[in-house]
Structures are given as structure tokens and as C-alpha cells.
Amino acid sequence: MIEVNDIYKSFGDTHVLKGISTCFDKGKTNLVIGQSGSGKTVFLKCLLGLLSPDKGTISHDGKIYSQLSGDEQRNLKQEMGMVFQGSALFDSLTVEGNVMFPLEMFTKQSLSEMQDRVDFVLKRVNLVDAHKKYPSEISGGMQKRVAIARAIVMNPKYLFCDEPNSGLDPKTAILIDNLIQEITQEYDITTVVNTHDMNSVMEIGEKIIFLKNGIKEWEGTKNEIFKTDNEAVTNFVYSSELFKKVRQMYIEERN
Amino acid sequence: MNYLASIGSYAIMIKEVFRKPTKWSIMRALILKEIDELIFGSLGILIFISFFIGGVVAIQTALNMTNELIPKNLVGFATRQSIILEFAPTFCSIIMAGKVGSFITSSIGTMRVTEQIDALEVMGVNALNYLVFPKIIALMLYPFLIAISMYVGILGGWIAGVFGGFSTSADFIEGIQLDFIPFHVTYSFIKTLVFAFILATIPSYHGFFMKGGALEVGKAATTSFVWTSVVIIILNYLLTQLLLG
Ligand SMILES: Nc1ncnc2c1ncn2[C@@H]1O[C@H](COP(=O)(O)OP(=O)(O)OP(=O)(O)O)[C@@H](O)[C@H]1O
Ligand SMILES: [Mg+2]
């Protein structure tokens, strides 16, 4: 469980986060949605400890991040997996090397054990024939999947994904969403996913927080989001023609 | 004021580089890779430059010896002195600041802008140790490069001097053996080691702490070259004053 208590973050005069409090439960896929530039990435980086909030606290299962020593922070980070918005794969390593990297770094496993684990997670994300390729030689969607494989290879307690399915075709996107949800439930981990994809919201939104202008405008579940009267949320959710139609049908059906 | 802050964060960076070391089996591979890229990768250009500069130094000295009273062995002597004292350690280091320095800044800077450094840190890896430490160790072999550069430079002087008809081989050889002070070589290698540390760390600093995107990577590489050269020139002056003055 991750508890966020009234965090603020500014870059110079740009006030990005202006007092956000919320709580993300274990075993659930928690989504953070909001327009481009609303501060989702900054928020996620605060949860990861890559950025430190100017004010407020974040605690991971009761451990308040800012009060931990440097070594304790690093130990906690080893329990986190992160999928960056741009994948952030290491250019100098192959797909296999990227996924194996955390294992080589932090475990005492033998090469064959590591190899088995890498094969397992790469299969899990539906990548079976790219082991020896370099990141620059595979498509953006494949890079995303490698990034997910790398994030889960150590069996993290916390999984963070920054727009894991942007740039993927709808089918692969749903596959990735489901994968994230399955992993979350199977290993009972705390997962936070940034997205602005309404399909993801419908698919896996067990808890959703909506950010707007640096504050938490709304929070609820995927069932609640379609019934809310909050104008900012409905404007965001129903921005596409498809969803406008869906809403109209829903209203007609109700009357 | 800004400069002071930079010097401060540079010092903190150096301290961080030596903390929480990466697993040895991984570090060993990284060091070997850096030796290959930074040391062997620079061998060709340094040999090429040293050879021709050595030749030019010999020719220039000979052409300026118009007075009959100047001993003929001066060509060899002057070539040796300028190559060993300044050309090989200092001039080559400026070349290296351009070659190796901008490579280091742009490769680390690219990792910064594509969030690869964040990815390392999220995993709990000490990114500074992982990225900078192997470069420092690899560049500790830099004096070997400079030794080769000295040899090739003097050889270039000999070839240009003898085959250009500016000196006889016997005069030249006599010149390079004349009044040889072994400490000059020690002084050169001390300088070289200090420059090696600068060559590894200042470009790393500029890459690691850069902000922005691809455009800024290019700018950071330029700034890094300027600062690495400036620091090398200043340290060259201070070390010369200290060791020979
Ligand atoms: N390092 C930084 N320095 C200055 N400003 C920043 C920095 N990082 C983010 N910002 C600013 O914070 C705001 C929020 O950025 P953020 O990347 O969190 O948006 P986002 O919600 O993730 O958008 P997207 O959906 O496009 O990824 C932006 O206005 C951005 O300019
Ligand atoms: Mg973002």
C-alpha cells in the first residue's frame, strides 16, 4: 500500500503538483489519469523517489520515504519495478541483457537460472523471438514490452507504469493492460499506472484518480467514472466521438 | 556564484562515484569495455598526431638555427624536450578532451535524456559508480598512451630531421641523449595521471547532470570540451610551477 499525503512539487515557477493526497491499495490496479501535462509523470516519479516532493510525505507500506537513509531508500527501490514513458531500455544491451540486468546486479543466481527467468518473463509479455536484438532494432511496442519484462523480472512489490500502452495497437494495448492486472493480482503487488487511454480505464481501472492542474480533481472506480457529474471528468472521458456516442446511448437507455 | 555551486556538486559527484560499488563481475566487464573504447580507441589518432607534430618540431627547430655557433645536436634535444614536457602530456590531453571527453558527455547525456539513468536509479543501482568509475579506472592506463605518443613523436622528429636533410642521424641521437633528466618523464606522467582523472570526470559531470533533450546533449558536449580543456591548461600551469618551478 502506498499512502500519499498532501504532496507539492514545483520546478521554479511551474507549480506542477499542488497538494495531492490519496492511497493506493495492494493487489489492485490503480490508475492515474489526466490530460497531457497535468503532472502524471511528475507524480509517479515522486512515488518512485526519483523526485522528492517539496512538501508532504509518501509512505510505502508504512515506511516514509523521505525519512529513510540512503541505503534504505536503495533497498526499497529494489522492490520497485518501473516502466518509463519512453521505455528507457539500455541501448548498449540486447533485449535479453536488459531483462537480465537487475538479476545480474542484485541476485546470486547462476546463468542458467537467470536465463530461465528471462525466458519466462519475455514469454509472459509475448516476446519470444527478439532475445538477441538491440533496442534500436525493435519496434516501439516491443520496447514497451521489454520494459515491462524488465520491471517484473525481480518480482517487485510495487509496479509503476507510465503510459505502458501508448503507441501500441488496440489489441496489444489490451493485452498489456490485462498482463499488468494479472501480475498485480497474482503476486498481490501495489500497481500504479499512468494513462490517458480510456480503454485502459474501462479494462483495468479498479481505482482511478483524475489529476487536473496539479490537484486531484476526482477519484473513484471504473464503474463510477461513467456516472459522475464532475464536469472536468466527463469532459476528459467523453472527449472522443466514440465515447460521446456511448454516453448518449447510456443516457437514452436510462430514460 | 554559479561556478562555486558547480564545483561543489562536482565534488559531491566524485564522492558518490566511490560509494556503494557495483558487483565486481559486472564492473570488470565494464572496465574492459571502457579500456577498449577510451584507450585503444584513441591509440590511432594519438600516434598519427604525435608522429607529425614531432616532425614539425624538428623541422621548425632546424630552420630557426641560423647561427653557426649553435650545436647541431640541438634539433634532437629540442624535439625531445618539447615532446616529453609539453606536447605529449598536455597537447594530447586537449585532443583527448575533444575525442574521449565529448564521447563521454554525449553517451552519458543521452542516457540522461532517455531516462536510462533514472531506470538505473529506480533499480537501486548507484548510477554514478556504474557509469563513471569504470571510465576513471580505464583512463588510469592513459600514461601508456602518452608513453607511446612520446616515442612516436621523437621518432617522427628523427625521420623528418634526417630524411629532410635538417640533421644527421648521429647529431639527432646525440641530441636526444643530451642532458637527460629522468625526472622530466616522471613529471610528465604525474601530469598525465591528473589529466586522466579530469578527462574521465569533468565530461561525466556534464553528461550526468545535463537537462533537456537531444539538442542539449550537443551543447553539453561542447561545454564539456571547453571546461575540460580549461581545467587541463590551468592544472598544467600549477603542476609545472609545483614540480619544476
Ligand atoms: N524536470 C522538469 N523541469 C521543469 N518542468 C517540468 C519538469 N518535469 C515536468 N515539468 C513540467 O511539469 C508539467 C507536468 O509534466 P508531466 O510530464 O508530469 O506531464 P504528464 O501528465 O506526464 O503528461 P503526458 O501525458 O504528456 O506524459 C509540465 O508542464 C512540464 O513542463
Ligand atoms: Mg507523462
CA distance A135 to A92: 8
Q: Report whether residue A14 contacts ligand 1, using a CB cutoff of 6 Å.
A: yes
Summarised one tens digit per residue, pLDDT across range A57-107 is 999 999 999 999 988 998 899 899 999 999 999 999 999 999 999 999 999
Count of domains observed in chain B? 1
Instruction: Name the DSSP letter for residue B180.
Output: -
> For residue A200, what pLDDT is reported?
85
Q: Which helix (H) or strand (E) holds B167?
A: none
Instruction: Name the DSSP letter for residue B85.
Output: I
Share of chain B above pLDDT 70, in %: 100
Mutate to test the pocket of ligand 1, among A9, A32, A42 (most ligand atoms within 8 A of CB): A42
Q: Report whether residue A170 contacts ligand 1, using a CB cutoff of 6 Å.
A: no
Mutate to test the pocket of ligand 1, among A16, A31, A36 (most ligand atoms within 8 A of CB): A16
Nearest in space to A87 (alpha carbons), one of B26, B210, B118, B216: B118
Q: Mean pLDDT, to the nearest integer, of B63-75?
A: 85
Q: Report whether residue A28 contacts ligand 1, using a CB cutoff of 6 Å.
A: no
> For residue B1, what pLDDT is reported?
63
CB-based contacts of A66: which residues, under 8 Å, 6+ apart? Answer: A52, A53, A57, A58
CA distance A6 to A215: 10
Band (B219; pLDDT cuts 50, 70, 90): very high
How many CB atoms neighbour CB A22 within 10 A?
17
Angle between helices B127-139 and B2-17 (to 10 degrees): 90
B122–A86 CB contact, under 8 Å: no
CA distance B202 to B9: 11
Nearest in space to A157 (alpha carbons), one of A104, A78, A88, A101: A78
Q: Report whether residue A39 contacts ligand 1, using a CB cutoff of 6 Å.
A: yes
Nearest ligand by distance to the CA of A34: 1
**How many angstroms is it from B133 CA to the middle of ligand 1?**
32
CA distance A81 to A66: 19
Return the residue whose CA atom lies nearest to atom 31 of ligand 1: A37
Does residue A107 sit at the B interface (CB-CB below 8 Å)? no
C-alpha cell at B176: 636526444
CA distance B49 to B156: 10
Show which of residues 34-63 on chain A sit within 8 Å of chain B, judged by CB atoms: 45, 48, 50
> For residue A141, what pLDDT is reported?
84
Does residue A209 sit at the B interface (CB-CB below 8 Å)? no
Band (B71; pLDDT cuts 50, 70, 90): confident
CA distance A160 to chain B (A): 11
Summarised one tens digit per residue, pLDDT across range A15-47 is 999 999 999 999 999 999 998 889 999 999 999
**Interface TM-score (ipTM) > 0.90:** no
C-alpha cell at A189: 503487488
Q: Mean pLDDT, chain A, as a whole number? A: 90
Q: Report whether residue A16 contacts ligand 1, using a CB cutoff of 6 Å.
A: yes
Tell me, yes or no, whether B195 lies in a domain: yes
Q: Which residues pair with A20 in a beta bridge?
A: A7
Which is the closest atom of ligand 1 to the Cα of A40? Answer: 21
A86–B114 CB contact, under 8 Å: yes
User: For residue B178, what are the domain limits?
Assistant: 22-240
Angle between helices B142-163 and B41-63 (to 10 degrees): 40
Virtual CA dihedral for B165, B168, B174, B179, nearest 10 degrees? -30
Does residue B126 sit at the A interface (CB-CB below 8 Å)? yes
Q: Mean pLDDT, to the nearest integer, of B206-214?
A: 94
Summarised one tens digit per residue, pLDDT across range B99-113 is 999 999 999 999 999
Band (B224; pLDDT cuts 50, 70, 90): very high
CA distance B106 to A235: 43
Tell me, yes or no, whether B9 lies in a domain: no
Q: Mean pLDDT, to the nearest integer, of A182-200?
A: 90
CB-based contacts of B32: which residues, under 8 Å, 6+ apart? Answer: none
One-letter-per-residue 3-state SS of chain A: CEEEEEEEEEECCEEEEEEEEEEECCCCEEEEECCCCCCHHHHHHHHHCCCCCCEEEEEECCEEHHHCCHHHHHHHHCCEEEEECCECCCCCCCHHHHHHHHHHHHCCCCHHHHHHHHHHHHHHCCCCCCCCCCHHHCCHHHHHHHHHHHHHCCCCCEEEEECCCCCCCHHHHHHHHHHHHHHHHHHCCEEEEEECCHHHHHHHCCEEEEEECCEEEEEECHHHHCCCCCHHHHHHHCCCHHHHHHHHHHHHHHC
C-alpha cell at B220: 553539453
